[in-house]
Amino acid sequence: EKAVNLKKDLAEMQEWMTQAEEEYLEKDFEYKSPEELENAVEEMKRAKEDVWQKEVRVKILKDNIKMLAAKVPSSGQDLATELNVVLENYQLLCNRIRGKCHTLEEVWSCWIELLQYLDLETAWLNNLEERVQMTENLPDKLDAVNDGLESLESVLRHPADNRTQIRELGQTLIDGGILDDIISEKLEAFNARYEELSHLAVSRQIALEQQLQTMRETDHMLQVLQENLAELDTQLTSYLTDRVDAFQMPQEAQ
């Protein structure tokens, strides 16, 4: 009777493993929204926990069959053969569920990381847009234009590492068919805004550089002219002091 009950327990265990495999491993999942992906991750965590909890039952079956085999070798041998099959299937199920759970957790982590990088780069784009707008109505003064140019250039020196991560993470998820529509839409919007603002900022940078160069040249010309006028004023003052008649001086002095 004990052998019959153990045989029944082995059959039930095998049936449970078959159902678990169908439910957790053979379903064709499509992750088209973050909610679907998150639910799948939580489901696989529960599946992993459910499978591990069966480990106690498997161990009890193993011990009981060993005890029976020691007492009744003929009955125990047949059960031991069935037990080995159940143990192999159980270990395989554990490994597959653990592997799928790990994969889904990695995918979820990849999605969260992508959102974090997008948030960082969006904040940078907002800052860049603000700096461009600040340079549109600068006072026509050398210091103001120079400060505006330096402020804009400091933002443009932003490293490209985050954008590289966004591209790689997004492509990895899209290639796996995971959240591909949502990610494609997000990346398209981000890249379009990045290209537009970058082009605008660089154009504004070039315009400010040209404006600054023109102002510096003008400032230099005014400085030279001022120095010449000061020198001429000194000469004319000396002529007046010495009561020199202008008609006695060269034409340029007159």
Asked if residue 160 has pLDDT above 80, the reply is yes
Write the Ramachandran bin of 223: left for phi over 0, alpha for psi from -120 to 50, otherwise beta: alpha
What integer pLDDT is reported at residue 6 of this predicted model? 82
Higher pLDDT, 125 or 81: 125
Query: Distance (Å, rounded) from C-alpha 70 to C-alpha 125?
Result: 75
**Whether 122 contacts 190, CB under 8 Å:** yes
pLDDT confidence tier of residue 1, bands split at 50, 70 and 90:
low
The pLDDT of residue 244 is 65
pLDDT at 144 over 80: yes
pLDDT digits 0-9 by tens, 215-242:
999 989 999 999 999 988 888 888 778 7
The stretch 31-53 carries a mean pLDDT of: 90
* Mean of pLDDT over the chain: 88
Closest CA relative to residue 194, chosen from 156, 230, 231, 227: 156
Tokens matching residue 61: 């079956």
- H or E stretch including 13? helix 2-24
Q: Which residue has the higher pLDDT, 1 or 83?
A: 83
Domains of the chain: 1-210 (1.20.58.60)
- Rounded to an integer, the average pLDDT of 178-196 is 94
Q: Give pLDDT, residue 38.
A: 92
Give the relative orientation of helices 142-156 and 73-134 as an angle to the nearest 10 degrees: 170
A 10 A CB-CB count for 204 gives: 19
In tens, the pLDDT along 106-115 reads: 999 999 999 9
**CA atoms 109, 113, 115, 119: torsion sign:** positive
Q: pLDDT value at position 252?
A: 57
Section 183-199 average pLDDT:
96
